[in-house]
Amino acid sequence: MSASLTKRQLRMSIHISNTSKMPTGCGSWSLQAIDTCPGSYKKITPELVDTLKRELVDACKGCYARFGNYNYPNVKKPRASNREDWKRSGWADDMVSAMEKSELFRWFDSGDCYSVALATKILEVIQRTPHVQHWFPTRMHKFAKFREVLATINRQKNAVVRRSSDSITGEIDGRWSNGSTIIPTVDHAKPGQTVCHAYSRGGKCGECRQCWDKDVKTIAYPAHGRSMIKLINLAA
């Protein structure tokens, strides 16, 4: 990228987005949901070898990033661009420059880290931005080849890898140090789970930083969005 670009122009050129829910100044780098989410499918069995028969896990069936605004061309286009852009040699340098004055960053508002090479580049960005706290949600821990790099990311003092549960009723795999799950309502949180209260604040994080806090082991997100709530009602 040109050195003459302002920080705002740079963030726009590499498609770092800012949503109203996130804390002020917190950017996010995202990909298209499902297309880059191999962990969103249930485990393949011999009778489901045909990918056309693959079924999404419960948490992904109601994913907010599959519906609404996320299907608009102006939202899909930068995510599609990101899928190619990270492969160029200067991408990590541009990401680091764009985060020069940041304090918080969220990876994957939509999509997932589908490539080990991408995860390795993200690790480089995290290591070169020690002043930024990074939140990295993922389902790629399901695949053995990703576990080493994800563990390395999670060992960084300024990053937390939150392994997303497939459940919509609060279950979580206790093998991982940090995670997140979906619960039908705040009353369904299990012992040891920290409830996200964004949706009692108009869908905004406000001053809360729990998702970035490595000491918070499990975040429980109350179901939100019509698709997820409908799915939970059907399962009840």
Whose tokens are 């990401």? That residue is 95
Which of 2-16, 61-75, 96-110, 132-146 has the weakest average pLDDT? 2-16
- Does the pTM exceed 0.85? yes
Q: What is the pLDDT of residue 65?
A: 87
Q: Show Cβ contacts of residue 132 under 8 Å, excluding neighbours closer than 6 positions.
A: 99, 102, 103, 104, 105, 126, 158
Share of the chain above pLDDT 90, in %: 69
Mean pLDDT of 107-122: 97
Mean pLDDT of 2-28: 78
Query: 77 pLDDT exceeds 90?
Result: yes
Higher pLDDT, 134 or 19: 134
Mean pLDDT of 67-73: 86
Query: 145 pLDDT exceeds 70?
Result: yes
Q: Which residues are bridge partners to 104 per DSSP?
A: 133
